[in-house]
Chain A
Amino acid sequence: MKSAVITFPGSNCDRDLAVAIERVTGHAPIRLWHGEQSLPEGLDLIGVPGGFSYGDYLRSGAMAARSPVIGAVVEAAQRGVAVLGICNGFQILTEAGLLPGALMRNAGIRFVCRTVALKVENAESRFTSLYEAGETIRIPVAHHDGNYFADDATLDRIEGEGQVAFRYAEPVNGSARDIAGVLNANGNVLGMMPHPERVVEAQHGNTDGARMFEALARSVLERA
C-alpha cells in the first residue's frame, strides 16, 4: 500500500499516524509538507492527521483547508484515492468541502480527552470492512471542536446513504445524532474525531484502531 501523511504547521499526530500505518501494513508512508502543489504518483491512501493546524485560527481546519496541498488532495479524492482525516484532519476535510457538515465547539465547552465507546454504523467501507456492523469499539478522542453539525436535511441524507461510519455510544461532545465519523458519498473519504492511530498495539491498551489500517491495506490488494 502506497500512502502519504501530510504535515501542516501545528499538526501533532502526523508521526503517530505514519507509525501506525507502517506498523500495521508494513509500508512506511511518504511524509508530505502542506506547501506541496502535487502528490506522489500512485497513492492508495492520504492521511490528514490530527493537531492544531495554524493554531486553530479563524476556525479549526480553516486555514489548512486552503493550503496548496489540499487542492491536490481534493483532486485525488475525486479520482477515488482513499483519504482519511482524523480529528483536525476531519475538520480540515469538512472545511475543504470533501465531507458534509462542520465541527463546532464541544457542547460542554471543555476539551475532551479520553477513550470513548463507538458504535460501528457502516462496516462496508474500505476503512471499516474489518469491523462488524453494530460492533462497539473503543478509540480515544482528544478535541475541543468535535461537535458535529449539519442541517436536518443533510443529516437525513447522509444517514440514508450509509455515510455515518461511527456513532458515539456515550455522551462526548454534543454531536448531532452522536455522529463521530462520516464518509463521503463515494465511500473513499472518511473523517472521524476519534484517533484510531492511538490504539494499534497491545501496549496502547487495545488494538481496535489497527483493523482500520488492515482494512485499507486489504482493500488495496483486492483492487490490484
Chain B
Amino acid sequence: MKARIHVTLKDGVLDPQGRAIHHALEGLGFDGVQDVRAGRLIELSLADGTSDEAIDAMCRKLLANMVIENYRIEKVA
C-alpha cells in the first residue's frame, strides 16, 4: 500500500521559489501563467493495515510544518 503526501504552502505564505519558477517560465516565452506555487510530494510505501490516523500523525509530526504548510493524503492501491 502506498500513500502520496502532497505538502503545499498555506495561502498567504509567500513562495519565493514559486515566484522564481514563474519568472523563468515567462523567460522561456510561456504567456498566461498567472501564479506558481511550489510544493513537495512524498511517497510512502506502507505495511498493509497502516491506519489513517498513523499517516496523519506522520504528516503532523514531521512531513509538514503546520506553521506554513498544509498537507493532503492520497492513498494509492
Chain A residues close to B by CB (< 8 Å): 58-59, 62, 66, 94-95, 100-102, 104-109, 147, 149-151, 174
B62 in contact with A149 (CB, 8 Å): no
A66 in contact with B17 (CB, 8 Å): no
Q: Tell me the interface secondary structure of chain A in the complex.
A: loop
B16 in contact with A105 (CB, 8 Å): yes
Contacts of A58 in B (CB 8 A): 62-63
Chain B: how many interface residues by the 8 Å CB criterion? 12
Q: Mark B20-35, 1 if CB is under 8 A from A, else 0.
A: 1000000000000000
Q: Which 6 A-B pairs have the closest CB atoms?
A: A102-B67, A102-B68, A105-B16, A109-B20, A109-B16, A107-B16
Contacts of B65 in A (CB 8 A): 59, 62, 95, 102
What are some 14 contacts across the A-B interface (CB < 8 A)? A59-B65, A62-B65, A66-B62, A94-B67, A101-B67, A102-B67, A102-B68, A105-B16, A105-B17, A109-B16, A147-B16, A149-B13, A149-B67, A151-B12
How many angstroms from the CA of A118 to the CA of B44 in the assembled complex?
Answer: 43
Tell whether B1 is near chain A: CB-to-CB under 8 Å.
Answer: no
Tell whether B14 is near chain A: CB-to-CB under 8 Å.
Answer: yes
Contacts of B13 in A (CB 8 A): 104, 149
How many angstroms from the CA of A102 to the CA of B12 in the assembled complex?
Answer: 14
B16 in contact with A104 (CB, 8 Å): yes
Contacts of A109 in B (CB 8 A): 16-17, 20
Contacts of B67 in A (CB 8 A): 94, 100-102, 149-151
Nearest CB of A to B10, in Å: 9
Known contacts A62-B65, A174-B16; 8 additional CB pairs below 8 A are: A58-B62, A58-B63, A62-B62, A66-B61, A101-B67, A102-B68, A104-B14, A149-B14
How many angstroms from the CA of A75 to the CA of B46 in the assembled complex?
Answer: 32
How many angstroms from the CA of A46 to the CA of B65 in the assembled complex?
Answer: 24
Look across to chain B and name the residue whose beta carbon is closest to the beta carbon of A152: B12
